[in-house]
Chains A and B, each alone.
Chain A
Amino acid sequence: MTVLVDAATRVVVQGITGHQGTVHTRQMKLFGTAVVAGVTPGKGGTEVDGVPVFDAVREAVDTTQANAACIFVPAPYAKDALIESVDAGIRLAVVVTEHIPFHDMLVMYHYARSKGTRIIGPNCPGIASPGKAKVGIIPNVVFRPGRVGVISRSGTLTYEIVNGITEHGLGQSTCIGLGGDPVVGTSFVDALPLFQADPETDLLVMVGEIGGTAEEEAAEYIHGHVTKPVVAYIAGRSAPPGKRMGHAGAIITRGRGTAESKVAALEKAGAQVARFPYEVPEMVAAIAARQARR
């Protein structure tokens, strides 16, 4: 096990017969992932790209020993899909679905946690460990096996930065796209210890965004617990101030949540903060070169 996924990961795709489910099942297989089952209620007994489809997750798990779920089920049914996989004993669920109401996600998160299931997402690109397995939708072409760990709140910006790292001749140990929704199953603070403990990761890249205080909390964690070098980038420095949660939101965050506050917190914690996405691979390459000389 590197970080959460490895060659022993066996994926069940929920919503496999939908367009996205079908397309990404194929891509996950091309990446080298063992996609062992699909689930779409009412479509049991069919096949998608050679993968057997079941009516229920329990059936899929019993037959194929699937141990991770990749959920493409549309938002109105995503909560039920997640609960079903948790109840079937799945302990890693990547929720790709976007636009899940946060009230639903609160239930999903706390239910999963009570049963020991980790959620990545929702509204996320998922997780990939080049040469081992991918659960999600990150394009295969951007990766190359290596020793840089990537944790990101973004989707396409993650691809951009991972691609840049690859173009600099380096590769990734594991990349996790946490998702950008207000409530996520796995936050920076949840993911950082996994990379710190991972013997295959030498340095870390953190891609954050304005809004919320996840980056500030990550900075606090890095300060006390992360000894590996961290390169960070925060998107949205020029964005007009968001008003998403109104006044009550403002008194929860109390001046935190802006790009300035995130950059300051991360720099104070010893991270190198890039001003633009294209600076990230340059900083990573410089650190990797220093590490190689040691």
Chain B
Amino acid sequence: MVKLAEWRGKELFRKYGVPLPIGQVARTPAEAEQLTRSGTVPLPCVVKAQVLAGGRAKGGAVRFANTPEEARAAAQGILGLEFKGETVKEVLLEQKLALGRELYLSFTLDRSARLPILIVSAQGGVEIESVDDAAIARIPVDPFPGLAAYERRRAAQELGLSGPVAASLDRLLSALWRLFQQEDAELVEINPLAVVGEGLVALDAKVIIEDDAGFRHPEYSDIRDDRTPLEEIAREKEIAFVQLDGNIGVIANGAGLTMATLDVLKEFGGNPGVFLDLGGTDDPKKVTEAFLLMAQAKPRAVFLNIFGGVTRCDTVAKGLVAAMDQVPPGERFPLVARIRGNNEREGIEILRAAGITSIPSLKDSAQAVVAAARGSA
């Protein structure tokens, strides 16, 4: 998934016609001063750190400015800040508005209902998880007719809006629904959505784009997420690779088997450090690449747990043996292999020729790798 920073989310809002405060991004204190001095961003203004984590106001990552000098100082104070693991590289300067009520609004997917869902609450401006269930309205939307006028009227009613503000909500909801569908969003959230005079303004923007829709949205491909450098390389090679804080490397195929493998390792006192899901592949080169990537993560021991289906055991064995030859002697680690399923016999033979024994039982092989990780400490 691609989480968009607030300012990127707001660029989308602007494109689809969702009302916003006047604002602009600055990357240096001087830029922040210039934007306010020139009137591009009217004063007084708010200066907000562009990070993905929530709770910015409480964490000192949102400040106010009445003069260009104060805008500069605010930007100076926020840029470069470490906020919940992210370094602030951009600030968003926006005009400060006289706010009325603050509301909550989002579109996301309801997996159980297999429908998009519009969620609204009159209690915006706080974390939605902390809002009482009774104060949250859930409006399922059928993707065929799309968001209907009566559903938009219902949302207005739930939010207690009428007159021109309700009309503003109607237009905003139509725009946001189009954005949700056309941009292949998993989540579009406005919190708070503020009543300003007789209209509405989106004070924040949280947009998450679905990875799988990348083929029709190349524009999101260069937006980095919160991945580690190795995770980024893995992503380019289309290998699912996640770094945890343990010391055992796990190479498995399929999400379910990978998770089950981690569960079993934990049970026997192991501590998985990296897991890598080969997915379905019948290219030995991809297996070699995956294995070399694993080596870079410097695990104490590696557990290869493969159940061959689309991914055949002999393919994995070939790729693995090729990779072993490429790992420098000083960086080698104990390897425990368990390969079952399609072409199992051929795979086991290839491994045996390279001096690796495949242990057929999951329990036994998991215990062996936990012991190996301890032994090489």
Does residue B99 face the partner (Cβ distance < 8 Å to A)? Answer: no
Q: How large is the interface on B (under 10, 10 to 19, 20 to 34, 35 or more residues)?
A: 35 or more
Does residue A245 face the partner (Cβ distance < 8 Å to B)? Answer: yes
Query: What residues on A are CB-neighbors of B361 within 8 Å?
Result: 278
Does residue B112 face the partner (Cβ distance < 8 Å to A)? Answer: yes
Does residue A180 face the partner (Cβ distance < 8 Å to B)? Answer: yes
Give bound CA distance, A278 to B360, whole Å. Answer: 12
Does residue A43 face the partner (Cβ distance < 8 Å to B)? Answer: no
Does residue A4 face the partner (Cβ distance < 8 Å to B)? Answer: no
- With A159-B309, A254-B133 known as contacts, the answer to whether A247 contacts B259 (CB < 8 A) is no
**Which one of A98-106, A195-203, A284-292 is at the B interface?**
A98-106
Does residue A139 face the partner (Cβ distance < 8 Å to B)? Answer: yes
Query: What residues on B are CB-neighbors of A248 within 8 Å?
Result: 106, 108, 119, 128, 187, 189
Quick one: which of B143, B211, B254 contacts A155, CB cutoff 8 A? B254
- With A138-B309, A212-B111, A278-B362 known as contacts, the answer to whether A110 contacts B144 (CB < 8 A) is yes
Give bound CA distance, A173 to B306, whole Å. Answer: 25
- With A183-B114, A278-B361 known as contacts, the answer to whether A141 contacts B189 (CB < 8 A) is no
Does residue B371 face the partner (Cβ distance < 8 Å to A)? Answer: no
Q: Within residues 141 to 162 of chain A, which ones have a CB less than 8 A from any CB in chain B?
A: 141-142, 152-160
Give bound CA distance, A137 to B114, whole Å. Answer: 25
Does residue B16 face the partner (Cβ distance < 8 Å to A)? Answer: no
Query: What residues on B are CB-neighbors of A156 within 8 Å?
Result: 252-254, 256-257, 306-307, 309, 341
Is the pair B254, A157 in contact by a Cβ cutoff of 8 Å? yes
Quick one: which of B253, B309, B363 contacts A137, CB cutoff 8 A? B309
Is the pair B109, A245 in contact by a Cβ cutoff of 8 Å? yes
Does residue A116 face the partner (Cβ distance < 8 Å to B)? Answer: no
Give bound CA distance, A29 to B337, whole Å. Answer: 31
Give the number of A-B contacts (CB < 8 Å). Answer: 184
Query: What residues on A are CB-neighbors of B111 within 8 Å?
Result: 182-183, 212-214, 252
Query: What residues on A are CB-neighbors of B142 within 8 Å?
Result: 110
Query: What residues on A are CB-neighbors of B342 within 8 Å?
Result: 139, 141
Is the pair A235, B215 in contact by a Cβ cutoff of 8 Å? no
Give bound CA distance, A152 to B254, whole Å. Answer: 13
Does residue A163 face the partner (Cβ distance < 8 Å to B)? Answer: yes
Min C-beta distance of A278 to chain B, whole Å = 5
Is the pair A251, B136 in contact by a Cβ cutoff of 8 Å? yes
Query: What residues on A are CB-neighbors of B131 within 8 Å?
Result: 251
Does residue A250 face the partner (Cβ distance < 8 Å to B)? Answer: yes
Query: Chain A: residues with CB nearer than 8 A to chain B?
Result: 19-20, 23, 75-76, 98-103, 106-107, 109-111, 125, 137-139, 141-142, 152-160, 163, 180, 182-183, 207, 209-210, 212-214, 217, 233, 235-240, 244-252, 254, 275-278
Sample (8) of A-B pairs whose CB atoms are under 8 Å apart:
A109-B114, A111-B144, A155-B254, A156-B309, A209-B255, A245-B187, A249-B108, A276-B363
> Could you list 16 further interchain pairs (A-B, Cβ under 8 angstroms) beyond the known A102-B109, A109-B114, A157-B254?
A23-B282, A75-B215, A110-B114, A154-B257, A156-B254, A156-B306, A157-B257, A157-B259, A207-B256, A212-B112, A235-B260, A238-B272, A244-B1, A246-B189, A248-B106, A252-B119
